[in-house]
């Protein structure tokens, strides 16, 4: 079930990246060919990139599409590799939980105070802050799934380079 959610969020993230590209292309054409810059394209494309990046993190972890340096772990025996994988995923988990809680505090304060972006659109600041909470909470869940998988004997993926 969680795998399906992660795949859906990965597709949403990909769509958000495409939308950001379209908006930025429109902005360039409007600005340089028609001398009519927009007030919305840059800010909305930034939001698309923020949401896309943060929603895509858990899928990237599950699919091993993140940057990973495995020069040393490849030399280790399987038992040591499993231990190192558990340690790495525990670090991801702890960091994700910390960011989730701090992100929640920041979001809540912005929401309660009615903080805005201070730009021409003057969007609520929490619109760019809540994806941090969502993305890192989901990343924490995925890290737990990875740890449980390694403990249960699941093969450790080598990464996307193979």
Output the pLDDT for position 78.
86
Q: Is 63 exposed, middle or buried (0-12, 13-18, 19+ CB in 10 A)?
A: middle
Chain mean pLDDT for the chain: 92
With pLDDT > 90 as the criterion, what percentage of the chain qualifies?
A: 77
What are the domain boundaries of the chain?
A: 2-151
pLDDT of residue 65: 84
pLDDT confidence of residue 158: 67
Which pLDDT tens digit goes with each residue over 56-104? 999 999 988 877 777 788 888 988 999 999 999 999 999 999 999 999 9
| Cross-strand bridge partners of residue 124 | 116
Entry pTM: 0.89
DSSP state of 52: H
The 10 Å Cβ neighbour count of residue 124 is: 14
């Amino acid at each position: 079930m969680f795998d399906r959610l992660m795949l859906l969020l990965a597709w949403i993230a990909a769509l958000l990246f495409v939308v950001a590209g379209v908006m930025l292309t429109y902005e360039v054409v409007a600005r340089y060919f028609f001398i009519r810059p927009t007030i919305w394209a840059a800010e909305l494309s930034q939001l698309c990139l923020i949401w896309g990046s943060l929603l895509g993190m858990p899928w990237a972890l599950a699919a091993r599409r993140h940057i990973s340096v495995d020069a040393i772990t490849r030399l280790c025996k399987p038992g040591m590799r499993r231990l190192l994988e558990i340690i790495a995923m525990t670090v991801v988990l702890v960091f994700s939980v910390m960011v989730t809680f701090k992100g929640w505090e920041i979001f809540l304060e912005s929401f309660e105070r009615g903080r805005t972006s201070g730009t021409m659109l003057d969007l609520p600041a929490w619109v760019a802050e809540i994806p941090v909470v969502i993305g890192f909470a989901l990343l924490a869940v995925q890290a737990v799934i990875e740890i449980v998988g390694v403990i249960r004997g699941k093969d450790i993926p080598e990464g996307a380079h193979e």
